[in-house]
Structures are given as C-alpha cells and as structure tokens.
C-alpha cells in the first residue's frame, strides 16, 4: 500500500468517520486547503475540523465510504459515498431523522507526506431532494413544515 493510499484511507476512516480532529492535525499539512461541496474553502487543520464538526452535528452516524481510489505520485482521486442520519439543521432544514446519502468525488494533493489540498464535489441536488428542498427534476419545493 502506498503512503498516499494510507493517507486517504486514514483521512476517511479515522478523521471523518470518527470525527477525530487530533488525527487530522497529524495527517494534514499546516497550510492544508479544503474545498467541500457543503461550504466555503477552509484552511489549516483547525479550519477543516470546524467544518467536519458542523457536518457531524447535522448528520449523526456520518460516514464517508471510499468506493474507488486511484493514486499517483502526489495526487489521488476517490469515488465516494457519503451517508448520515439527519439529526440537526442541514441546508436550513430541521432534523427529519431520515438517513440521507449522496455520491461524490474527492481530489487530493500531497506534500511532505501529508495531505496538502482536498477538493470534494458532491451531488448536492440529491441531498436537497432528500431534504425536500427540490424535486428530483430540480424544481424548487417549499421548505418542509
């Protein structure tokens, strides 16, 4: 297993799935740049940890599942599945208790044996449809009551 593969697997299995900010500081570079589908760009392990905490607050039992991983010298790409139980405000919708899931893709860069950048693209339309904010055809729906 390559060092890059181990970093990506640790990032999802230990950092994200266990909500482990201390582990994030071990594997993310000090100037780490993160751009996720659910919010603005975050910098540094602390900026990322705040983002991670907000997702875990909204989605209980939140999990990131690696479906496919391709690694080269200093880059990696992963096909992902994200899943959680809607337990807190998410996209302005109060908790529904529903399990929601969506597909995504993650693009990593590595420097000095740490993750230096990550850009995640997720199927936000699917998330919004599951929350009742849009129909599956993309039409806006009124917020749930």
pTM: 0.88
pLDDT at residue 38, as a whole number: 73
Q: From residue 131, give the alpha-carbon distance in Å to each of 11, 30, 94, 106, 128.
A: 27, 35, 9, 23, 5
Q: How far apart are CA 96 and CA 117, in angstroms?
A: 33
Query: Can you count the helices (H) and strands (E) in the chain?
Result: 4, 6
Which pLDDT belongs to residue 139? 55
* pLDDT value of residue 145: 44
For residues 107 and 118, the answer to whether their CB atoms sit within 8 Å is yes
Per-residue pLDDT of the chain (145 residues; tens, 9 = 90+): 899 999 999 999 999 999 999 999 999 999 999 999 877 899 999 999 999 999 999 999 999 999 999 999 899 999 999 999 999 999 999 999 999 999 999 999 999 999 999 999 999 999 999 999 987 665 555 555 4
């Amino acid at each position: 297993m390559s060092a890059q593969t181990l970093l990506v697997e640790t990032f999802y299995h230990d950092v994200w799935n266990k909500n482990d900010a201390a582990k994030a500081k071990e594997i993310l570079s000090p100037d780490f740049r993160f751009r996720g589908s659910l919010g603005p760009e975050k910098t540094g392990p602390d900026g990322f940890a705040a983002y991670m905490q907000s997702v875990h607050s909204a989605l209980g039992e939140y999990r990131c599942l690696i479906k496919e991983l391709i690694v080269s010298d200093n880059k990696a790409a992963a096909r992902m599945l994200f899943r959680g139980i809607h337990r807190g405000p998410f996209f302005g919708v109060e908790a529904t208790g529903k399990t929601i899931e969506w597909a995504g893709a993650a693009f990593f860069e590595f420097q000095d044996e740490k993750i230096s950048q990550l850009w995640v693209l997720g199927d936000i339309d699917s998330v919004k449809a599951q929350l009742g904010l849009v129909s599956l055809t993309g039409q806006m729906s009124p917020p749930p009551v």
